[in-house]
Structure 1
């Protein structure tokens, strides 16, 4: 006959413990159930019976005025605590949380963070000096605590049903359902006598609070109630362990904060130990399978694995499944295990279905052993208004949060896709990183966006934190943008913010951003800062045109910045060292692109700006001045010549003349190499320019072969960096041209304006193309060679 309440010690997220708890509760039929967890969640427990509540879920508690300070209590379908909660709600008996309130644990966590420690319940705990499961496993002769726990607890049968080798049940008899817990409590009692709190000092406070709650429950229900908690706490919950006075003294003076609590979706991936959750498990997907499988768990698991591999176009037959089950069972017998565990099934899958390869096995581990299940929470659960607005918007846009990463292609010309883009950009402004923009594949149009989406449970905390800015995503993003604009001190930050406001469709925030932009731009005289700021403004005008946003005010500021850059850039490029010149070369490229966007903007937004029409001409004058100024670094001069040449504002013979001057024998080799880096450096077509203009290639070749030996070692790294950026095919063609060199039939062209490879039409080479052309055109008669040309 049991004396005292029913104490059910468990291991968090253990399917064997969960089945044992259900059997014990069915046998004992207690009048109330107490569960380890924060009492602030008591009011939310009835939601666990809602049909829309689908684990894994987590109880989230956060500080009311600082949502970043939060803690989670995750529960999966196979968590013993969840089974106990559902049993109590299903049988109409009271259920309560009895752990230390979150108001205290969050306050204590802040104190520990000040001392360099982190919270235990939801994140990473103070390390136990003693691992109780490890000690028990070692005593049983196991070298792996996880394998011992699986053999003794997780692979146990229900006692009344057959799980095909799932381990012996607790047997028949009245004491059967409670025997595992009694044995575990005895083992933990011996450990606590030897090791005390095991180095986890916070347990003393938590267990004192639990004892007070048990005394309160005893007054209400007598001894007819059950307690479900971590097995480690069982020895400390006895009434004789401590007095009421001592427990209250231990709790006196604990810090406290105001908290809010709700349910949030969780994922199997976040239950995994690798995710950082302190009470995590290695294989939530596997444990979920063990809990759900009514029988033959190994056979059902192998069938799942086979289905996954078939979906990935791997040849897996029924014979593979049968052989894998046999091998797993044989391995279990050889290793003395009651049931083939995860180790045996993994070894069998690797050998039979994956042909010894760990590549497909990694997919099995990620998709099945860990899993990507995302729980659901009913709409009736408490939530900040911002979360409710986000949920409504997600549903209206058919943009469901998913735990696995996926790519989303958006066409901004479509209404729904444009609205999705606005939502994702607004969430990024609020630091809710649900989606990250990536480079679009196969299109460079401004009407396309590519996003990489993945919903993590921690984003619920980010949403709660962002709730201080507003009750809707639009109002919160607007308020956040305005706040960032006022507090920004760097001009480039404000221009980037303006671009983000346009992408997020925040017209109400733009006036505040524009005022901050004008103020910062008026006070900042650093050309480098202006050059960093201009590209974002130019892109904003470009995107504004796609999204139909009024950007006239932005255009005024952009053109003003461009004019100031035109005035200040030449003196800023004078007298720079190599690093400074390289930085300024990057600014030069960015400004050139930005001015091209401004000068090429449509007539709608910028037509009223009278000084826009001559902007490209003024910029060309600046580049010409830089190209001919000896005090400017070679990399800048070479880049200026290249930009003018690409824009058609510099004749090819003039470019050749400037290159000849830069590579003349009197020029320092290092400066000449820098000029080449600026002119043809990078992967942006510089190699093709040399391929198609043999005059320029000849000038580079002549200069390079004339570099003195003592100077060649110094210029080699720069030249290698320049040419290594070219595509392999371009480098190969250049090498062939250099190896072949000029010939008598095809001398190097030296006259002004001479294009191509030779002094005129090479008739022999031209005639060689004719057979291919006839084949392509379907011409079946021979034409005279002269007439064909």
Structure 2
């Protein structure tokens, strides 16, 4: 007898109903919607170390220069398929997957992709002709497109039609109440099949004439293959067959004879390609992805919570009040941990409110919307639920487990051995670790993590280097992503261990790279990863590229990671002789090219390069090479004498020379006076002023001669010039700290007061003499009048 159980993938209610149905039917064969390519590894699930969530990874063999096709079929503990597999293995019942094999599906998708490319080329050639289509035909095309859009909207969510008939706006909530919260084992499965059959008939009636798509064709292949597997099971003599599939497929799997001939024709000659299958650990967070038969589960934590209570009452009525109490208690605990108020009295009030709501709505078990209403009203005082707390509870992030013995590739085994050796954990939540590179064990661990990062594995990210305490501290953030298992498979091309694969992968990148800065960054990564064998290749490539590129900006960008790498030498215990030689060679070449390069820069480029000059000096200081510092000082002196240089850059050079005490106050005053003199344009003077004084307020505060020159220049500006230069002056002043700005304001205020006092000082005796003379002169005039 054939029993078809239509379920929702990853539905805890569906899983509960499947368990009840299997216990009642006691089948001798179970067929599950899933990839038959994985049938040989189903028996591995008997291993005691399996812990869901896990996933089937199916991918095409790894090939160089070709990205593997891959798909994941995830299983949570509350997935109906997982429960069926566990039942079959416990009861020693025959079990198989029955969906269209991935060896055909991958080949079809590749074939269709090639056809789409060919069609796109053909469409481009006929585009001009299409522009001249008659208006009547354009209207007909629009009508046809609207019909297709309506059809696709129904196809994407056919349950919505049933939900609307039942008075629901949300198809997910409708399915929750009708199916997931009901302990059906037989009658409800039949009712679901009848309802889906009606939906499929309606959808067929709405399908546009001659409509065909890749998705539709793939569905036909899949359902034809499912029927083929069921017929094979019957031929093998199984009498009590249970089929577990998505509810959408249930109506078309029962009538095997009517479709027999058509299925044979449809499946004949399907293309195929080789596919590998393996079990990998998965996470709850990844269940939301639509991969394989992923249902886009957004509330894994809630489903886990329901499943725990369903397990406690598989053959009895589920206690809806206990579900509410436990969930509300979890939420209250999360609120308290986040610093919010959530008392026991509030939980009691919330439980009473939820029970009243369920009575009004005619249900025994709450759903998330019911609980959200109560949480907002009672526990959160009418406010929106804090998103971080909500996300943490709904995700319930957990990482599954697959036995180490089932790992087959050498690179995967090496990775797991090193993870174990360094006492690390493959966990889904983020976890921070700190390393002291002065310790040999931590240094080796750091090199391993750098190798993993350099290989591109999404697990370890360097969060900090503790630069304030020196260069011997590192902080890493670890978070294991299940897809990394597939990535490790792909990286097996490069070697059988993490170190060998990283070295081969890195050397391939070096040979193909044409970017000087990227090569420099790779050199730093080589040293951090302890892959000294690759250093000479990278340095030779760097020397080749820098010979071709004479741009000082490029060489400067190259120096930074190299000098940073040299700083690691004291704690990372590698030889720096060759690297020192390369850095010195690049630094000398850079400084010799600076004078001719700087006179070619426009205003925008000059501002960018001014900061790079500051960086160059800081880098050279880190090297602590007297010969290079001497060459730098000589180069800077040459730059000071360049009259054609852009104003901002020249002002910056004067500032650097003053900071490094290469020129004294008197010389600085000379450069400043020349730059701000009447002979210069106002634009040049303003740019020079900005380059010289940005972040340098103390020069104006403590050097009175510089202050006087700047004050005189500002006072002599014409009103229109002052207005035009005001943004530059304001930008320069904005770089000053609040304390420095306040001192400058006081300096201006004091000068203004002194001027007023000087103007207001009056010699009374001299003034009286002048007045007497004036009156003596006026008296004869008054007599005549």
Moved more, 703-712 or 62-71: 703-712
CA offset digits 1:597-637 (Å, max 9, x no partner): 22x2xxxxxxxxxxx53111111121222233121112221
Residue aligning to 1:752: none
Q: In structure 2, which of residues 2, 6, 12 is the aligned counterpart of residue 5 of structure 1?
A: 2
Residue aligning to 1:53: 50
Q: Does 1:102 align with 2:102?
A: yes
Q: How does 1:256-655 map to 2 (within 5 A)?
A: 256-272=272-288, 279-293=295-309, 294=312, 295=319, 296-358=322-384, 361-439=386-464, 443=468, 445-598=470-623, 600=624, 612-655=625-668
CA offset digits 1:11-37 (Å, max 9, x no partner): 111000000000000111111211111
Residue aligning to 1:215: 231
For residue 448 of structure 1, report the CA deviation from its aligned partner: 1.9
For residue 300 of structure 1, report the CA deviation from its aligned partner: 1.0
Moved more, 700-709 or 640-649: 700-709
- Say whether the 8 Å CA contact 1:446–1:543 is kept in structure 2: yes
CA gap 1:704/1:325 in 2 versus in 1, 3 angstroms: farther
**Structure having the higher Rg:** 2
Residue aligning to 1:227: 243
CA offset digits 1:695-714 (Å, max 9, x no partner): 55555454445443333454
Structure 2 Cα separation of the partners of residues 702 and 438 of structure 1: 50
RMSD (Å) for aligned C-alpha atoms = 2.8
3-state DSSP of counterpart to 2:228: helix
Structure 2 Cα separation of the partners of residues 154 and 399 of structure 1: 39
- Say whether the 8 Å CA contact 1:626–1:636 is kept in structure 2: no
Residue aligning to 1:715: 725
3-state DSSP of counterpart to 1:226: strand
TM-score (norm 2): 0.83
3-state DSSP of counterpart to 1:129: helix
- Say whether the 8 Å CA contact 2:72–2:291 is kept in structure 1: no
CA gap 1:667/1:317 in 2 versus in 1, 3 angstroms: same
CA offset digits 1:288-317 (Å, max 9, x no partner): 110012342111111211222233333322
Structure 1 Cα separation of the partners of residues 113 and 433 of structure 2: 38
Q: In structure 2, which of residues 179, 190, 199 is the aligned counterpart of residue 182 of structure 1?
A: 190
Q: In structure 2, which of residues 199, 203, 207 is the aligned counterpart of residue 191 of structure 1?
A: 199
3-state DSSP of counterpart to 1:710: helix
Residue aligning to 1:668: 681
3-state DSSP of counterpart to 2:600: coil
For residue 693 of structure 1, report the CA deviation from its aligned partner: 5.1
CA offset digits 1:71-93 (Å, max 9, x no partner): 11111111111111111111111
For residue 439 of structure 1, report the CA deviation from its aligned partner: 4.3
User: Which structure ranks higher in relative contact order (CA pairs < 8 Å, sequence separation ≥ 6)?
Assistant: 2
Between the two proteins, the alignment pairs up a number of residues equal to 701
For residue 254 of structure 1, report the CA deviation from its aligned partner: 3.2
CA offset digits 1:733-775 (Å, max 9, x no partner): 5445445557659x9xxxxxxxxxxxxxxxxxxxxxxxxxxxx
For residue 670 of structure 1, report the CA deviation from its aligned partner: 2.5
CA gap 1:438/1:277 in 2 versus in 1, 3 angstroms: farther
Structure 1 Cα separation of the partners of residues 41 and 666 of structure 2: 80
3-state DSSP of counterpart to 2:243: strand
Structure 2 Cα separation of the partners of residues 591 and 345 of structure 1: 61
For residue 284 of structure 1, report the CA deviation from its aligned partner: 0.9
CA gap 1:613/1:8 in 2 versus in 1, 3 angstroms: same
Moved more, 277-286 or 701-710: 701-710
Q: How does 1:634-783 map to 2 (within 5 A)?
A: 634-681=647-694, 685-687=695-697, 690=700, 696=706, 699-741=709-751, 744=754
Residue aligning to 2:177: 151
Structure 1 Cα separation of the partners of residues 5 and 180 of structure 2: 15
Q: Does 1:236 align with 2:216?
A: no
- Say whether the 8 Å CA contact 1:527–1:565 is kept in structure 2: yes
Structure 1 Cα separation of the partners of residues 358 and 672 of structure 2: 76
CA gap 1:48/1:304 in 2 versus in 1, 3 angstroms: farther
CA gap 1:89/1:274 in 2 versus in 1, 3 angstroms: closer
Q: In structure 2, which of residues 30, 33, 38 is the aligned counterpart of residue 36 of structure 1?
A: 33
Residue aligning to 2:159: 133
For residue 148 of structure 1, report the CA deviation from its aligned partner: 0.9
CA gap 1:297/1:649 in 2 versus in 1, 3 angstroms: same
CA gap 1:350/1:139 in 2 versus in 1, 3 angstroms: same
3-state DSSP of counterpart to 2:428: coil
CA gap 1:105/1:128 in 2 versus in 1, 3 angstroms: farther
Residue aligning to 1:73: 73
Structure (1/2) with the larger helix percentage? 2
Runs of 5+ in structure 1 lacking a partner? Answer: 117-125, 159-169, 171-176, 601-611, 748-789
